[in-house]
Amino acid sequence: MRAVVLGIGNTILTDEAAGVRAAEALEKGYVLPGDVQVIDGGTSGMEMIEDLAGADLLIVLDVVRSGNAPGTLVRIEGDAIPKFFRRKLSPHQIGLPDVLASLELLGTMPGAIIVHGVEPVSLELGTEMTDTVARAVPLLADRAAADLIERGYAVMHASCGGQ
């Protein structure tokens, strides 16, 4: 089994950094086994194909424009994934739809995909997230960890030891 947690976003556009910061929070807050890879996808695109190919589970952490109140956490999976990628819910939409389409053509699509996102407050130029979205970042990390644990990955909270 191999899982990939992909944090995506632009760290110089305020709340757009949430996905990258959530991936960092996951790595800092949890002890992850060797079969879980955390990737800071930033605003990358097709160069991620090799890292994502053949994963059993792909968890994407990002900001998501869902029409909900700012700071709302959003989970998208299963049959909703194709609809999610047809609409531009993430402001940068790093070309992830193209990456996934390429993986599908190559026959190396991840076995399951889950998107955890947060509704942004601001996408203005700046390196500090709004307080609303910053408070959601550890929750995104916790949700990713819970998904990994639920699927049998040996993830432990860092406060439990295992260093």
Residue 92 lies in a domain: yes
Residue 159 lies in a domain: no
Walk along the chain (163 residues) and give the pLDDT tens digit of each residue: 899 999 988 888 889 899 999 999 999 999 999 999 999 887 677 778 888 999 999 999 998 888 899 999 999 998 777 666 655 555 545 567 778 788 888 889 899 999 999 999 988 898 999 999 999 999 999 999 999 999 999 999 988 755 4
Residue 142 sits in a domain whose CATH number is 3.40.50.1450
Could you tell me the residue range of the domain that residue 33 belongs to? 3-153
Q: By C-alpha distance, which of 7, 2, 26 is closest to 111?
A: 2
Q: What percent of the chain has pLDDT over 90?
A: 53
Residue 137 lies in a domain: yes
Q: Are 58 and 64 in contact (CB under 8 A)?
A: no
Residue 14 lies in a domain: yes
Residue 161 lies in a domain: no
Q: Are 5 and 39 in contact (CB under 8 A)?
A: yes
Q: By C-alpha distance, which of 11, 47, 17 is closest to 120?
A: 17
Residue 82 lies in a domain: yes
For the chain, what is the domain count? 1
Residue 160 lies in a domain: no
Residue 104 lies in a domain: yes
Model pLDDT for residues 66-110, shown as the tens digit of each residue = 889 999 999 999 877 766 665 555 554 556 777 878 888 888 989
Q: How far apart are CA 73 and CA 132, in angstroms?
A: 11
